[in-house]
Amino acid sequence: MLPNILEGPQDARIMLVGEAFGKEEEYAQKPFVGTAGKTLSKLLAAAGISRSSILITNVVSEKPPKNDIGIFFKDSKHVVPTEKLSLYVKQLKENIERTRPNIVVALGRTALWALTGETNITNVRGYLLESTLVRGQKVLPTFHPQYVNYNWKDHAVVVMDFKKALRESSSPKIHYPRPSVLLESRPGVFVDYCKYLQHEHKEPAVLDLETFTNGMHVDVIGLAESESKCISFKVLEGERVLHSPQEEVRVWTALEQLLQAKPIVMQNGKFDVGILLHHNGILVHNYHFDTHVAAHVCFPELPRSLGFLSSICLNVPYWKGDHKDPMYNAFDVLNTYGVYKFLDKCLDDMQQRHVFQYEMAQIYPAVYLELNGLLVDQDKRSELLATVETKITDAEETVYNTLGKRINLNSPLQLQGVLYVDLKLPTQYKRRKSVEEVRKVTTDAEALNSLLRTTKNPVLHSILEYKKLTKLKSFLNIETRENRVHTCYNITGATSIRKKKGLVVDDEESYSAFGRWSSSASIILPYGSGNLQNIPEEARTIYTVPEGFTIVQADYIQAEAVVVAYIIGDVRLIQMFRESYGCSAAVRKHKYDVHTFTASIMFHVSMDEVTPFMRKVGKTVRHALNYGGGAGVIARRLGCSLPEAKSYLATLLASCPQLLRWHKQIASQVQSTRVLTNLFGRKHKYLGRLTDIVRSAISFIPQSTVADLMNISLCSIFENTDLEVILQLHDAVYVQCLDTPDEVQRTMHILKQHMTRPLRVGKEEFFIDVDFKVGKYWGDMAPIELESRGEHEQRQELQ
DNA sequence: GATTTTACGTA
DNA sequence: CGTACGTAAAATCT
């Protein structure tokens, strides 16, 4: 007989099913009494469910050896159960049939598998399913409490799922309103529907294009007028063309007219906008609302795919399983409509409407930059590539001659063998986040540099050289189109990735929150090294502008440091930034350098007496402090002892007590309200554990303020000027202009005008200064001073 | 062939 | 206890 442990009242409406016993459960012979049990109780309480009112059980009422559920499966994918597990599943079935709860919540993958046969919890989490184990039984999958312990920010998602379970527990039925869907391949019907939307329908419409065949042809066009009514129009059937050229023209014309007149809603529509513009020459005139952008503003720490958002905002069936399903696109547009209505309200509730508006305004500039690309000087490129390749060969030969054998120097494993086994150098380990983590052997640059310092073995130098050069080479070995590279700017930080079968989906792994743009490979024009925000200095020399033009770079000076100075009210620093505002670069460097200033207060000397060493100490210590770093970092950077680093740290903290006070204030604010607000009113709700997020929280306000400042300025430049922007680099913007002194000065004046925006801390208003560089090549820019209006005009008169 | 890990470039 | 991001190549899994 198997143990059968089911806790709670037999007539309960909700049943929770976990995986198996842990140590504590085994001892107590009760489900969920250990750490996962404590978490479960918290999550239930947060959702308003009383633990004593529900049934709680596990698929397996015993503790697997080493807590590895795998031993109950015959295969590594965990789909073929052993005989024992089959008996347990049968027992679960009988338990459900006997108690007949209105809803069963599957906690984690194993319970989900046992109840429904589904294996991917991330996909179906939050969606009501029908059990395959007990016919007609309503199941809601969510994450296991133990998973929540490791991924604390996901607790918010589980609480929402529990709330859904509570709502659904009043009835055993799965009830969805039936949508009205036109599945069409007749051009006439589509054209009529477009006309109806354009002339009669009053609300915004949702648009979604499916582009799953190769190339960038649109396969399906979806349009929704509400969360319950839509059309899904087939343009292509696989490789087969469905309509005559004349019919296609009618279709695209009708769509174009609709997109000229109607407010349009999309989910991550930046991609669709780019495709329509690039391949069909169609501009979406009134891009009214993007659900992906709204989700980024409202829930910066959560995923933003339509599947996830629908599971949180809506009560709809799961539809993301099969992309080939004819209803797939229809559900996409219908649910985008539902999510739109939900998030539209959230923006007001959370007072984030203005943040949403300035993020929406960034979409067109980002699309423009992506489609426009950046010019490559092919001669420079091949020249540099050849030089780098020669150097690589040299470094390689040096290493091989010393070692007496040939290995792949970019292989961490092979390098470990040579350095730590053959040469018997002291093994280097990766730095760990905590002492509990297992030490990992490494051969990264930091380890090699440290070995070079201690052993002075010159082969290490050559290995470092080789690694550096091959990395550089990867930035030069690039494909271009009409001598241009293209990058996709992601204003919400999440990249779209092209998966197998050509499907474009949101990358669920990464979701930024700070308002900075990220840059990744363009799916529309996949040329160049993808990310344009991490091109090394040397490789930038291959990027240029057309004949007769030049590049003007404008960047914010010490932007984050200025923001921090005002926030913490560091009177001396503020005074210095005030005085240096508008000064020439030479004066600024001489009289108003932040790091020299820091060193002068640390070492109690005047600014003139600061030595280069003192400045380096000042710079390192301030840097570490601004980002919540400690003495260990400082010691490593400066190559000094830990006690020395500690005393440096203490010195700066003593002379600038506001800094530490601010750190503490941030920590307590995150603890009490979990919400931080930057100087533009952008809010960030922190969901993770306090200890994990405190450093990120410290950098949020300065970093996101500068990001918003830059992007608002960039939009202003796009909307109000004739300047041609070519690049965005977090706190710098690059434009191309005619290569004449007047045009360069005019460009600089306009940039300065649009980049100079007041920031406010309390009642105090301040500005962040801008400085300029100019040059023909991105990697070869020289500082240039903004001439006063007087000088500028004088010169114009002379000409 | 697909997925995960290691390493490394930028602000 | 730097943070944030994206990509290439190697290592590992299936």
Residue-wise pLDDT for A589-625, tens only, equals: 888 888 888 888 888 899 889 888 888 888 888 888 8
| The pLDDT of residue A249 is above 80 | yes
Asked if A705 and A679 touch (Cβ cutoff 8 Å), the reply is yes
Asked if A141 and A126 count as a contact pair (C-beta separation under 8 A), the reply is: yes
What one-letter code names the amino acid at A572? R
Quick check: A500 pLDDT over 50? no
Give tens-digit pLDDT for A131-151.
999 999 999 999 999 888 877
Q: What percent of chain A has pLDDT over 70?
A: 95
Query: What is the pLDDT averaged over residues A66-73?
Result: 84
Q: Residue A503 — very low, low, confident or very high, per pLDDT cuts 50/70/90?
A: very low
pLDDT for residue A501 is more than 50: no
Q: How far is CA A218 from the centre of its chain?
A: 27
CA distance A779 to A542: 7
Residue A37's nearest CA partner among A148, A139, A162 is A148
Least confident range from A139-143, A298-302, A692-696, A733-737: namely A692-696
- Per-residue confidence at A373, pLDDT binned at 50, 70, 90? very high
Q: What is the pLDDT of residue A507?
A: 52
DSSP codes, A614-629: HHHHHHHHHHHHHTT-
Tell me the average pLDDT of chain A: 89
For residue A499, the model assigns a pLDDT of: 46
Enumerate the nucleotides of strand C whose atoms come under 7 Å of any protein CB. Answer: 1-14
**Cβ partners under 8 Å of residue A431, min gap 6:** none
Calculate the CA A87 to chain-centre distance: 44
Nucleotide nearest to A628 (CA to C1'): C2
Is the pLDDT assigned to residue A627 strictly greater than 90? no
Greater confidence, A742 or A78? Answer: A742
Give the distance, in angstroms, between residue A399 CA and nucleotide C10 C1'. 20
Distance CA A496, CA A327 (A): 22
pTM check: above 0.85: yes
In this predicted structure, what is the pLDDT of residue A628?
A: 73
Mean pLDDT of A553-574: 91
Residue A247's pLDDT is 94
As a three-state string, the secondary structure of A578-604 is HHHCCCCHHHHHHHCCHHHHHHHHHHC
Q: Which nucleotide's C1' sits nearest to the alpha carbon of A519?
A: C6
* pLDDT interval class at A502 (50, 70, 90): very low
Sorting pLDDT into bands at 50, 70 and 90, what band is A566? very high
Q: What contacts A13, CB < 8 A, 6 or more positions away?
A: A54, A101, A102, A103, A169, A170
More confident: A438 or A124: A124
Cα–Cα distance between A507 and A419 in angstroms, integer?
A: 37
> What value does the mean pLDDT take over residues A371-399?
92
pLDDT tens by residue, A289-337: 999 999 989 988 788 889 999 999 999 999 987 777 889 999 999 999 9
Give the model's pLDDT for residue A361: 95
Tokens of A737: 């202009």
Instruction: Concatenate the DSSP letters of all residues of A474-541 into one string.
Output: HHHS---BTTEE-EEEETTSPPEEE-GGG-EEE-SS----SS--EEEE-SSS--SSS-STT--GGGGG
pLDDT over 90 at A541, yes or no: yes
Count CA atoms within 13 Å of residue A624 on its CB side.
Answer: 23
Q: Would the pLDDT of A68 be above 90? A: no
Task: Please tell me the predicted confidence (pLDDT) of residue A510.
Answer: 53
CA distances from A767 to A563, A703, A753 (A): 9, 16, 12
Question: CA-to-CA distance for A333 and A205, rounded, in angstroms?
Answer: 9
Q: Which nucleotides of B are covered by protein (CB under 7 A)?
A: 2-3, 6-11
What average pLDDT does range A104-110 have in this prediction? 94
Residue of higher predicted confidence among A530 and A770: A770
| Of the listed ranges A109-113, A149-153, A343-347, A542-546, the one predicted with least confidence | A149-153
Question: What pLDDT sits at residue A593?
Answer: 86
What is the C-alpha separation between A368 and A270, in angstroms, rounded?
Answer: 11
CB atoms within 10 A of CB A796: 12
Shortest-distance nucleotide from A493 CA to C1': C5
Question: What was the pLDDT predicted at A550?
Answer: 96
Under a CB-based contact definition with an 8 Å cutoff, are residues A714 and A733 in contact?
yes
Helix (H) or strand (E) holding A333: helix A328-349
E strand spans, A348-503: 374-376, 484-485, 487-490, 496-498
Q: Is the pLDDT of residue A508 over 70?
A: no
Sign (positive/negative) of CA torsion A277, A282, A286, A292? negative
Which residue's C-alpha is at the least distance from the C1' of C3?
A696
Q: Which two tokens stand for residue A341?
A: 């209505």
Q: Which residues does nucleic strand C approach, with CB less than 7 A?
A: A 76-77, 408, 410-414, 431, 433, 474, 490, 493-495, 507, 510-514, 516, 518-521, 529-531, 533-534, 623-624, 627-633, 691, 695-696, 699
Q: What is the mean pLDDT of residues A660-674?
A: 88
SS3 A536: coil
CB atoms closer than 10 angstroms to residue A327: 14
**Total residues found in chain A within this entry:** 799
pLDDT band at A73 (very low <50, low <70, confident <90, very high): confident
